[in-house]
């Protein structure tokens, strides 16, 4: 039996994702214990910046994202690809949830917010998630890679090295894109 190391777990996740690609539905069940903890940390991170009375719990966010991930027909490349897609799905789920909340509670009007270096949101304002999402969509029209860097770093919690791997660019390019995207977003939000 092989030693339980992060490298071995990453290889096992990649192997299970490839098995899922090949149509082995049981691979999804075997994948859960390997990715659940990290997905839960991502979900908790996102929800920590949401309003205090948020009714969506990390577990529900993880379950919804995971079900969508394993049901979609994606040619999974590796663990990093999986978590990049998880970040994108969690972003969509939270934005949709914020839009629904805004439509019900606030007339649906999104307001402009200040964006500090840490991208910290005020807990009582779901419209901030919507404002960031809209700004990222605008950035994607101008520079898709920079928008993706922000999404992967902020929503995905990926490291510079992992982002470089996902985007197939050098780490310095990721750092430069991150800094330029943050500066641009500050002018937009």
The string of pLDDT tens digits covering residues 128-146 is 777 888 888 899 999 999 9
Structure tokens at 39: 């997905």
Question: Taking the model in full, what pTM does it have?
Answer: 0.62
| Torsion angle of the four alpha carbons 22, 169, 173, 40, in this order, in degrees rounded to the nearest 10 | 10
Closest C-alpha to 86, from 65, 67, 60: 65
pLDDT tens-place string over residues 42-99: 777 766 665 555 556 777 788 888 888 878 778 888 888 888 888 888 888 888 877 7
Instruction: Please give the pLDDT value at position 55.
Output: 58
pLDDT tens-place string over residues 45-59: 766 665 555 556 777
Report the alpha-carbon distance of residue 169 to residue 178 in Å, rounded.
13
What mean pLDDT is predicted for residues 112-139? 59
What pLDDT band is residue 178 in, cutting at 50, 70 and 90? very high
Tokens 């859960």, located at residue = 32
Nearest-10 crossing angle of helices 58-71, 79-105: 120
For 56, the 3-state DSSP assignment is coil
Instruction: Please give the pLDDT value at position 103.
Output: 55
CA triple 117-119-125, angle to 5 deg: 140
pLDDT tens-place string over residues 7-28: 888 889 899 999 988 888 888 8
Structure tokens at 98: 């914020």
Distances 81 to 28, 69, 78, 152, 166 between C-alpha atoms, Å: 15, 11, 5, 10, 6
H-state helical runs in 106-159: 127-142, 144-150
Instruction: Please give the pLDDT value at position 90.
Output: 84
């Amino acid at each position: 039996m092989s030693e339980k190391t992060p490298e071995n777990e990453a290889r096992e996740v990649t192997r299970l994702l490839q098995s899922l690609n090949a149509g082995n539905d049981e691979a999804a069940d075997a994948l859960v214990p390997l990715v659940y903890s990290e997905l839960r940390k991502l979900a908790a991170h996102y929800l920590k910046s949401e309003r205090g009375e948020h009714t969506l719990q990390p577990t529900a966010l993880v379950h919804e994202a995971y079900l969508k991930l394993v049901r979609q027909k994606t040619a999974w490349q590796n663990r990093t690809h999986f978590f990049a897609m998880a970040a994108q799905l969690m972003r969509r789920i939270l934005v949709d949830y914020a839009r629904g909340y805004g439509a019900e509670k606030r007339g649906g009007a999104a307001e402009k917010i200040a964006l500090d270096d840490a991208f910290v949101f005020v807990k009582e304002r779901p419209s901030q998630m919507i404002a960031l999402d809209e700004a990222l969509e605008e950035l994607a029209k101008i520079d898709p890679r920079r928008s993706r860097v922000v999404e992967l770093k902020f929503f995905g919690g990926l490291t510079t090295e992992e982002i470089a791997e996902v985007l197939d660019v050098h780490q310095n390019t990721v750092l430069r894109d991150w800094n330029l995207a943050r500066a641009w977003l500050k002018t937009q939000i």
